[in-house]
């Protein structure tokens, strides 16, 4: 009896809905409600606030949820560890990633992974919009930068660096910017935002302080395509700020020149993110570990 109502409670807590929890568990909403009511009675504690529009955890419910989630994850891990001994990774993985990073970095590695594990199937949706993994039924998302969603679990895959650069022909004609304020005198090739990220090295009390700074810039070009911005920079139209995977080959060949290196912002982390309410299955864990190993090369 100590297990009765635990799964129902955890699913309601995570979906904030009796109906959604019932659907995921494959039982009726009434059964979910009965099990949770019996659980609250057994514990002599109110775990959930219920209204016609919303279900939220009480303070006691939040504490109980954290422990119950760990118990269920442990049970899932035990079951999967046993089944793993007699099976190989198989089934479908549904993932999402930013468009360019997905095209250039991620999906080629996913294809290599599928060559190695022929029973794996993959559905990938590339989008620069933040997608709700639970509502979309996604197993995995690749996200870049700071993570704000505490309901997700995450594992760091790699890092990226943003470079400010321009073609030698542009710099010969218009000069080289040496400070952030110099950018106001240059044609800056814009993406979806009209500002760039930097570290501003100010001196305070004889001590150097690195401060993150968003610098507003302007220019004659604004594209929502990194490839098109690179092309514009290569043709001498202006200065661009883009992640390393867009510009590395051109910096190495000398077709683009890196600028304002002293003001370059710190590297951004690239994460594999998955819903907290889903135990990391063997196939997902295998893919994540594969990406970590390959992206570290």
Backbone angles phi, psi at 97, to 5 degrees: -160, 160
CA distances, 23 to each of 28, 73, 139 (Å): 8, 20, 18
Q: Which long-range contacts (CB under 8 A, 24 or more apart) does 62-66 make?
A: 64/9, 65/9, 65/10, 65/13
Task: Round to whole Å and give the CA distance between 65 and 36.
Answer: 12
Q: How far is CA 51 from CA 14, 136, 138, in A?
A: 16, 25, 29
pLDDT at 137: 84
On whether the 162-266 domain is CATH 3.10.129.10, my answer is no
Low-confidence ranges of the chain (pLDDT < 70): 1, 80-88, 149-151, 201-210, 276-280, 297
Q: Are 21 and 56 in contact (CB under 8 A)?
A: no
The predicted structure's pLDDT at residue 204 = 47
Tell me the CATH number for domain 6-84.
1.10.10.10
Tokens read off for 136: 């979309």
pLDDT of residue 136: 84
Enumerate helices (H) and strands (E) in the chain, giving the number of each: 11, 13
* Per-residue confidence (pLDDT) for residue 281, from 0 to 100: 73
| pLDDT of res. 147 | 77
Domain boundaries, the chain: 6-84, 91-157+269-295, 162-266
Task: Check residue 120 and give left, alpha or beta (phi > 0: left; psi -120 to 50: alpha).
Answer: beta
* pTM for the full predicted model: 0.59
Task: For the domain made up of 91-157+269-295, give the CATH fold.
Answer: D-Maltodextrin-Binding Protein; domain 2 (3.40.190)
- At 256 the pLDDT is 97
Q: Which of 283, 272, 278, 280 is nearest to 69 (CA)?
A: 278
């Amino acid at each position: 009896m100590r297990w009765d109502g635990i799964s129902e409670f955890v699913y309601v807590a995570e979906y904030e809905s009796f109906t959604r929890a019932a659907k995921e568990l494959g039982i009726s909403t009434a059964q979910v409600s009965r099990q949770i009511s019996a659980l609250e009675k057994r514990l002599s504690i109110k775990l959930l606030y219920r209204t016609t529009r919303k279900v939220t955890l009480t303070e006691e419910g939040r504490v109980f949820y954290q422990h119950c989630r760990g118990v269920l994850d442990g049970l899932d891990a035990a079951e999967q560890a046993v089944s793993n001994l007699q099976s190989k990774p198989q089934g479908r993985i549904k993932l999402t990633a930013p468009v360019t990073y997905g095209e250039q970095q991620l999906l080629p590695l996913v294809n290599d992974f599928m060559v190695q594990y022929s029973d794996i199937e993959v559905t990938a949706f590339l989008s620069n919009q933040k997608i709700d993994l639970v509502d979309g039924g996604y197993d995995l998302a690749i996200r870049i930068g700071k993570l704000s969603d505490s309901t997700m679990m995450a594992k760091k895959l790699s890092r990226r660096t943003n470079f400010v650069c321009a073609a030698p022909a542009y710099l010969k004609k218009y000069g080289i910017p040496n400070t952030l304020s110099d950018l106001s005198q240059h044609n800056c090739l814009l993406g979806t935002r009209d500002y760039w990220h930097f570290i501003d090295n100010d001196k305070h009390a004889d001590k150097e302080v690195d401060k993150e700074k968003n610098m507003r810039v302007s220019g004659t070009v604004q594209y929502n395509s990194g490839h098109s911005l690179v092309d514009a920079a290569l043709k001498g139209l202006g200065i661009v700020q883009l992640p390393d995977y867009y510009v590395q080959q051109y910096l190495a060949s000398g077709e683009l020149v890196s600028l304002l290196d002293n003001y370059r912002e710190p590297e951004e982390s690239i994460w594999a993110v998955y819903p907290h309410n889903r135990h990391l299955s063997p196939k997902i864990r295998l893919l994540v570990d594969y990406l970590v190993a390959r992206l570290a090369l």
